[in-house]
Amino acid sequence: MKITLRQLSYFAALADVRSFGSAAARCNISQSALSQQIKELEGNLDVQLVERMPRDLQLTRAGEDVLARALPILAQAEDLEQAARLRDGLTGDLKLGIIPTVAPYVLPDLLRALRAAEPGLDIRVREAQTERLLDGVLSGHLDAAVMALPVKDKRLTAHLICSDRFVLAGPADRIASLQGQTDRLRPKQIDPEQLLLLDEGHCLADQALDVCGLADRRQIDLGASSLSTLCGLVSEGFGLTLLPELAVKSEGLAPNLSLARFADPEPARKLALVRRTSSLDAAWVDELRTHLTAACDAQTGYARSFLAPASGAP
């Protein structure tokens, strides 16, 4: 019996979650069926791929080698399927990933626009942190993902969506105090002990550290799982945070919360639509990027009308 793509996909799922039960659920088959397929793959290759333990499993050295070879094969197979699904633009199925600091602010406008423009499109959205989305795109589980630049993997191509500036959020008295110290507010004026960030793993937290010239989180003892939680804490006097313009309309109007622009050039993150470079037909990307840019512009435009950019900034 020859090796099949199905066997390789089941093995890749098992290697990712390291659990027969979880891998079977992901693949929508029974645990016994998945186990049988893995055994057949091992038989076809005449090697042991996994070490089965009571509560865990590990890949053997041969398993690691097979996985490294299987992933590009599965991605290429997905590219063939994707080219067929999206050959006429945004029709059929679209599997899109998006980071949590963008999803709640952009998805409502994006999905509304896609529903109006492409009524036959079946879109499935996965919200996850950057590392998981990159894995999803590379493995073929996602057609593309929205995330912050940079993306350094040459197997991926990034299409710029927008520039999302940061504003300073905090209690009115602290914001006024900082603004009173200088006529040109700079991120490095923020006391690290006052800076609240998202939990580890959120790229926005790393960007905030970089913007403020901080090397790590050791001085910062409080994190949150969402920008909404951060703004709630900050509005109650627990510190300061950096808020992207995309979130100003939804999060920036909390009671007792004050916002301030930084001096030009304002710190910002660049958001992009990321796909596999090997995608055979990327014509649908421009259409999707156009809708994404419009959805982002609606939010950043509100932020810039609500809180005017610093003098000299566009």
Question: What are φ and ψ of residue 53, in 5° steps?
Answer: -120, 165
Which amino acid is present at 29? Answer: I
What DSSP assignment string belongs to 34-51?
HHHHHHHHHHHHTS--EE
What is the per-residue pLDDT for 309? 67
When the pLDDT of each residue in the chain is averaged and rounded to a whole number, the result is 84
Beta bridge partners of 258: 170
What DSSP assignment string belongs to 154-216?
TTEEEEEEEEEEEEEEEEHHHHHHHHHH-SS--GGGS-GGGB-EEPTT-HHHHHHHHHTT---
- CATH 3.40.50.1820: does it fit domain 90-308? no
Most trustworthy range by pLDDT among 63-72, 106-115, 136-145, 216-225? 106-115
Q: State both tokens at 278.
A: 């090997």
Higher pLDDT, 28 or 109: 109
Side-chain half-sphere CA neighbours of 78 within 13 A: 25
| Contact by Cβ (8 Å): 246, 164 | yes
CATH 1.10.10.10 region(s) of the chain?
Answer: 5-83
- CATH 1.10.10.10: does it fit domain 5-83? yes
- Verdict on whether the full-model pTM lies above 0.85: no
221 pLDDT tier (thresholds 50, 70, 90): very low
Res. 164: pLDDT tops 60: yes
The rounded distance, in Å, linking the Cα atoms of 66 and 68 is 5
Which of 83-87, 272-276, 300-304 is predicted least confidently?
A: 83-87
CATH 3.40.190.290 region(s) of the chain?
Answer: 90-308
